[in-house]
Amino acid sequence: MSRLLALLYGAVSYAVFLVTFLYAIPFVAGFGVPKHIDNGDPAPFLVALGIDLALLGLFAVQHSGMARPAFKRWWTRFVPAPIERSTFVLVSSAVLALLFWQWRPLPQPVWNVDAAALRGTLLALSALGWLLVLSSTFLINHFDLFGLRQVWFHARQRKAMDEPFVTRAFYRIVRHPLMLGFLIAFWATPTMTLGHLLFAAMTTGYILVAVKFLEERDLVALYGDTYRDYQRRVPMLLPWPKRQRTDAATSTATPQPTRH
Ligand SMILES: C[S@@+](CC[C@H](N)C(=O)[O-])C[C@H]1O[C@@H](n2cnc3c(N)ncnc32)[C@H](O)[C@@H]1O
């Protein structure tokens, strides 16, 4: 594949991601776009529940499956390495777009906050959650996460340096600020319907399982004791400070390896 074509493919994938991400904000909020979490084709309760669970399950399987190191090793035999990340981003965006399109509303109210000040506070909190998601991507390396950096270096015939392990800013407070941002954005709502509750609860369960049993295992395999030490010092998702241990194990300075 020509380098220019790969660059174009990466740019298109990034643009598709950006549109999908920006659509996700009003979709979850339940206003501001034609199709959101609380509207669309009504369906009998069990049908709507089944469709919504299938859409969430599809996203979980696709997203975590394609991010497994073994899967990446297998499919880069067919997909050129420089566009591997862009392809992941494109497929993830397509699955999310399908979810937005086919999501069936379950409009039964769970809670509804009337007080204007509290409504505003919850909406502001949700916006802060989205901001935390976006700013965390820039702390790791936004353009690497979404595949642009790989196609850019490929186009310039340069080898991209591995990304460094990040422990600064939000990553000093929790190990997964990006996921914490999602949780805040999904739960902080003045009007919680049954459909929104299903979405928030299932994505929370997925995030907890995926972070603890998939991502952190990969990170330990990659960074070894550096990551184990980070796990001891910094909480996973809730920003409560951990009790500092003073034994040699935790005070040993560890080298800062790089992310592949
Ligand atoms: C979608 S990001 C989510 C990062 C993290 N779970 C969070 O919630 O902030 C997933 C990528 O971030 C990388 N990653 C996670 N923690 C990292 C860290 N402290 N430094 C560098 N990369 C990290 C993982 O290797 C993976 O490629």
**Per-residue model confidence (pLDDT) at position 242:** 76
C-alpha span between 36 and 55 (Å, rounded): 14
Q: Which residue owns the Cα nearest ligand 1 atom 11?
A: 145
Return the percentage of the chain with pLDDT > 70, whole number: 93
- Whether the CB of 207 sits within 6 Å of ligand 1: no
Confidence of residue 95 (pLDDT cuts 50, 70, 90): very high
Read off the pLDDT of each residue in 153-178 and give the average, rounded to a whole number.
Answer: 92
Confidence of residue 254 (pLDDT cuts 50, 70, 90): very low
- Whether the CB of 214 sits within 6 Å of ligand 1: no
Q: Which residue owns the Cα nearest ligand 1 atom 5?
A: 176
**Per-residue model confidence (pLDDT) at position 220:** 96
Read off the pLDDT of each residue in 246-259 and give the average, rounded to a whole number.
Answer: 45
- Whether the CB of 223 sits within 6 Å of ligand 1: no
Per residue, what are the HEC states of the chain? CCHHHHHHHHHHHHHHHHHHHHHHHHHHHCCCCCCCCCCCCCCCHHHHHHHHHHHHHHHHHHHHHHHCHHHHHHHCCCCCHHHHHHHHHHHHHHHHHHHHHHCCCCCCEEEECCCHHHHHHHHHHHHHHHHHHHHHHHHHCHHHHCCHHHHHHHHCCCCCCCEECCCCCHHHHCCCHHHHHHHHHHHCCCEEEHHHHHHHHHHHHHHHHHHHHHHHHHHHHHHCHHHHHHHHHCCCCCCCCCCCCCCHHHHCCCCCCEEC
Question: Which residue in 5, 1, 20, 4 sits closest to 146, CA to CA?
Answer: 20
The neighbour count for residue 222, using CB atoms within 10 Å, is: 16
**Per-residue model confidence (pLDDT) at position 249:** 43
Report pLDDT digits (tens) over 61-90.
Answer: 999 999 999 999 999 999 999 999 999 999
The more confident residue out of 259 and 160 is: 160
- Whether the CB of 237 sits within 6 Å of ligand 1: no
**Per-residue model confidence (pLDDT) at position 162:** 80
Confidence of residue 163 (pLDDT cuts 50, 70, 90): confident
Interface confidence: ipTM more than 0.90: yes
111 phi, psi to nearest 5 deg: -145, 155
Nearest atom in ligand 1 to the alpha carbon of residue 166 is: 20
Cα dihedral 147, 16, 168, 67 in deg (nearest 10): -60
Report pLDDT digits (tens) over 115-157.
Answer: 999 999 999 999 999 999 999 999 999 999 999 999 999 999 9
Distance 220 CA to ligand 1 centre (A): 12
- Whether the CB of 196 sits within 6 Å of ligand 1: no
The more confident residue out of 125 and 260 is: 125
* Stretch among 151-160, 163-172, 247-256 having the lowest mean pLDDT: 247-256
* Stretch among 149-163, 203-217, 225-239 having the lowest mean pLDDT: 149-163
Q: Is the pLDDT of residue 111 over 50?
A: yes
Report pLDDT digits (tens) over 30-47.
Answer: 999 999 999 999 999 999
- Whether the CB of 177 sits within 6 Å of ligand 1: yes
End-to-end CA distance of the chain: 23
Contact (Cβ atoms closer than 8 angstroms) between residue 85 and residue 150: yes
Residue among 21, 140, 207, 214 whose CB has most ligand 1 atoms within 8 A, to mutate: 140
* pTM, full prediction: 0.92
- Whether the CB of 88 sits within 6 Å of ligand 1: no
Confidence of residue 161 (pLDDT cuts 50, 70, 90): confident
The mean pLDDT of the chain is 93
**Per-residue model confidence (pLDDT) at position 245:** 56
